[in-house]
Structure 1
């Protein structure tokens, strides 16, 4: 019997021959879609969006104007910078954590940004 596209054998071969980062990105992308979020690569400036992904980095950015906490969220398709103005630390916002964020997409120097997003910490599965 011929194997269906995406059958068990095809998935096994792909897992054995693919780069770990590619597999992780695919898993994140699938989890994002299953969680009802939009793919970050499809989000455009000015849209109300919901993105779900893993935080790659979190850093405090002291500036002469205002302190900000910035986190890079990656959903397997693209990165989105989350910026909380006037915050030095937010419990649970740490690298490796999976979160769902909601807000209006903006553009800063050609990169996607959500300012002061609403967020939900996700449990590990």
Structure 2
């Protein structure tokens, strides 16, 4: 009797103290996705027009002699989506650790979800 009410906050505290930091970060990212009206990457399918929100894990630039391409791996806590800007070698603010909201049509490349030339918004730290 009455023990169930106090268990929730205590259980959450114990979970936060014993969980892996990456796991907690992924959970937090996933919750933020829903809060801004974006879709989880794991729910996106090829051909879908989507808005995704996540943190940039890595940024790759194409070699000098190749067609200019900037690629950023965006992770939302469920899966990664590769953002690809054709004709660009650098975009200010697109860097590892930055949170980005991106919109576009999901495509598949080598089994990975990709957004080509997405519309994007850099998110401020909260």
Task: Give yes or no for TM over 0.5.
Answer: yes
Equivalent residue number for residue 45 of structure 2: 44
TM-score normalised by the chain length of structure 2: 0.94
* CA shift in 2, pair 1:28/1:45, >3 Å: same
Give matches, 1:1-125, under 5 Å.
Answer: 1-4=2-5, 7-62=8-63, 66-125=67-126
Do 1:58 and 1:70's aligned partners in 2 also have CA atoms closer than 8 Å? yes
SS of equivalent residue, structure 1 residue 13:
helix
CA distance in 1, matches of 2:41, 2:107: 12
* CA shift in 2, pair 1:26/1:5, >3 Å: farther
CA distance in 2, matches of 1:37, 1:105: 13
CA distance in 2, matches of 1:94, 1:6: 40
Between Structure 1 and Structure 2, the one with more helix by share is 2
CA distance in 1, matches of 2:19, 2:91: 36
CA distance in 1, matches of 2:63, 2:101: 25
* CA shift in 2, pair 1:26/1:49, >3 Å: same
**Number of aligned pairs?**
125
Do 1:38 and 1:49's aligned partners in 2 also have CA atoms closer than 8 Å? yes
CA distance in 2, matches of 1:63, 1:111: 24
More divergent stretch after superposition (105-114 vs 56-65): 56-65
Do 1:3 and 1:9's aligned partners in 2 also have CA atoms closer than 8 Å? no
Query: Please, which runs of 5 or more residues in structure 2 have no aligned partner?
Result: none
